[in-house]
A and B are shown apart, each in its own frame.
Chain A
Amino acid sequence: MTQAEFYGAGFPYRNLSEYPGRLIVLEGTDGVGRSTQIAMLRRWLEEAGYAVSDTGLRRSPLTQPGLDAAKQGHTLGKLTMSLFYATDFADRLENQIIPALRAGFIVLSDRYFYSVIARDVVRGADPRWARRVYGFALKPDLVMYLRTDLNSLVSRIVHGRGFNFWEAGMDVTRADNLYDSFIVYQTRLIEQLDLMSSEYNFVQIDASRSVATVNEDLRKIIHPYLPNG
């Protein structure tokens, strides 16, 4: 059993003191290889007999259509965007993550609210305000932070899904091309995540190494946190 702890007031109308599952978070900027690692971890955990549920940002059935539509236009203000993401996060936490934890699942979360805050702050949000918005958030059992240098990030993006407007932070940097914008924006994001590393007890992992090596590291770190670990 994990004792439920929240960053702030949590959900006062909800009775959640402990749960049998585990909440394991993989943090890191865009293109650092989080989804590949999560897929591998999921297979590993399921082979070991654990029920696994995975979740990621912007996957709430409540907010996904609205958020996607909002991001098509460019009228989304910074406060509006912060709060829209917080709605998405809260919906997934209450309707997917917490029920799964109660049912004894290992929940693998592809990012948590930390990257959302990083993004908000880079866009000019008050860091204290943004943190307090997430006062309802459950403290994960473990947060692992995949960190890499910018060059390998760029290489992964170029050989992967390519640059896009939001990941390059074109709305913030006002650079005239995606590459320059990406460099400036991702540097600032990494700065923010580094700041949060000690604040939120991230376990840092060097993600510039091979996928297999990184995965081996992740498993070693996760193992003691598992119910039969």
Chain B
Amino acid sequence: MLKPANYQGKLFIVEGIDGSGKSTQIDLLHKYLLSHGFSVYFSEWNSSDLVKSTTRFGKKDKLFTPTTFSLIQATDFADRWENHILPLLKAGVIVLADRFAFTAFARDVARGVDPDWVRNLYSFANQPDLAFYFQVPLDVAVERITSARSDIKYYEAGMDLGLSDNKITSFRLFQGRILDQYELMIPEFNFTVIDGTLPVEEQQKIMRGVVKKALRGFRGLPHPTLTPRRRSAKAKAELPAPITQGDDK
């Protein structure tokens, strides 16, 4: 269990195996929220500047064990959490995250670390307001990844586990293990399951519907340059009636 929310912003995250389509969907959601005048911040898995050099070095030289891989990604997450995600949530921003702690719970456990241990690592984070899980059959995801990209990276394919010498075979086996972990987490972390085999626009429609409901009554941090229509209407109502020249006549 993660801690309940204790901030005025909203945290919406997406999860799913590689090729589940989650990044496309959160990108569309991002644009939608911006167009409605909300203050939005987007955070991506494994993107902290502070930790980047270590991660890159470790990957290049294949220095990671399941435990150090798990710890360096938790370090990356902690840096983003402390410096960006949490302060912005407190300020009333809508934070969107492409992957969250659940990625670690799925992948690191698939790599063989203890499930309770990795859950403790991330226990400083709050449970998102909405956690979308993009559910796709393994074959669909593998097909999407292998047809779109020429090369799958070493750790991405789980080559460090020695499941197979063949990258595609290893990738399939590894993603299968991750998928099993995700499925187990649906009730544990209250995932909102989206069928990732539906057309993109249909998935987005469902997602926006769920988000709209979660934002009912939400005010959030006003955008300094954009004023949403509903807000400007309210502001006008609170002002004293304008005095116009014409009234004298």
Closest chain A residue to B120 by CB distance?
A132
Chain B residues with CB under 8 A of A82:
78
Contact in complex: A75, B78 (CB < 8 Å):
no
B81 within 8 A of A: yes
Contact in complex: B121, A90 (CB < 8 Å):
no
Chain B residues with CB under 8 A of A129:
120, 123-124
Contact in complex: B117, A66 (CB < 8 Å):
no
Contact in complex: A94, B68 (CB < 8 Å):
yes
A69 within 8 A of B: yes
Chain A residues with CB under 8 A of B120:
129, 132-133, 135
Least CB distance from A52 to B in Å reads: 24
Contact in complex: B67, A69 (CB < 8 Å):
no
Chain B residues with CB under 8 A of A95:
63, 65
Band of interface residues on A: 35 or more
Q: Are A65 and B117 CB-contacts (below 8 A) given A13-B66, A79-B82, A136-B67?
A: no
Least CB distance from B102 to A in Å reads: 18
101-158 of chain B: CB within 8 A of chain A: 111-114, 116-117, 120-121, 123-124
Q: Are A83 and B112 CB-contacts (below 8 A) given A65-B57, A66-B57?
A: no
A73, B57: Cα distance in complex, Å: 20
Contact in complex: A75, B50 (CB < 8 Å):
yes
Closest chain B residue to A125 by CB distance?
B124
Chain A residues with CB under 8 A of B123:
129
Q: Are A86 and B50 CB-contacts (below 8 A) given A78-B82, A133-B121?
A: no
Closest chain A residue to B66 by CB distance?
A13
Chain A 70-108: CB-based contact to B (< 8 A → 1; otherwise 0): 100101111110111011001100110000000000000
A75, B83: Cα distance in complex, Å: 8
A66, B219: Cα distance in complex, Å: 40
Chain B residues with CB under 8 A of A69:
53
Q: Report whether over half of chain A's contact residues are helix, strand or loop; otherwise say mixed.
A: helix
Chain B residues with CB under 8 A of A77:
78-79, 82-83
Q: Are A83 and B121 CB-contacts (below 8 A) given A65-B53, A76-B50?
A: yes
Contact in complex: A66, B78 (CB < 8 Å):
no
Contact in complex: B68, A80 (CB < 8 Å):
no
| Residue from A8, A73, A83 within 8 A of B117 (CB atoms) | A8
20-73 of chain B: CB within 8 A of chain A: 48, 50-51, 53-54, 57-58, 63-68, 71-72
B207 within 8 A of A: no
Residue among A8, A66, A70 with max Cβ neighbours from chain B (10 Å): A66
| Residue from A8, A62, A83 within 8 A of B74 (CB atoms) | A83
Chain B residues with CB under 8 A of A70:
50
A165 within 8 A of B: no
A80, B54: Cα distance in complex, Å: 13
Contact in complex: B117, A80 (CB < 8 Å):
no
| Residue from A12, A67, A91, A132 within 8 A of B68 (CB atoms) | A91
Q: Are A13 and B113 CB-contacts (below 8 A) given A69-B53, A80-B82?
A: yes
Contact in complex: A135, B117 (CB < 8 Å):
yes
Contact in complex: A9, B71 (CB < 8 Å):
no
123-158 of chain A: CB within 8 A of chain B: 126, 129, 132-133, 135-136
Contact in complex: B82, A9 (CB < 8 Å):
no
Q: Are A90 and B71 CB-contacts (below 8 A) given A62-B54, A66-B51, A80-B79?
A: yes
Closest chain B residue to A93 by CB distance?
B67
Known: A77-B79, A84-B75, A136-B117. 18 other contacts (CB 8 A): A66-B53, A66-B54, A67-B54, A73-B50, A80-B79, A83-B121, A87-B72, A90-B65, A90-B67, A94-B68, A95-B63, A95-B65, A126-B124, A129-B124, A132-B120, A133-B120, A133-B121, A136-B67
11 residue pairs from A and B, CB less than 8 Å apart: A12-B114, A13-B112, A62-B57, A62-B58, A75-B83, A78-B82, A79-B82, A80-B48, A80-B50, A83-B74, A87-B68
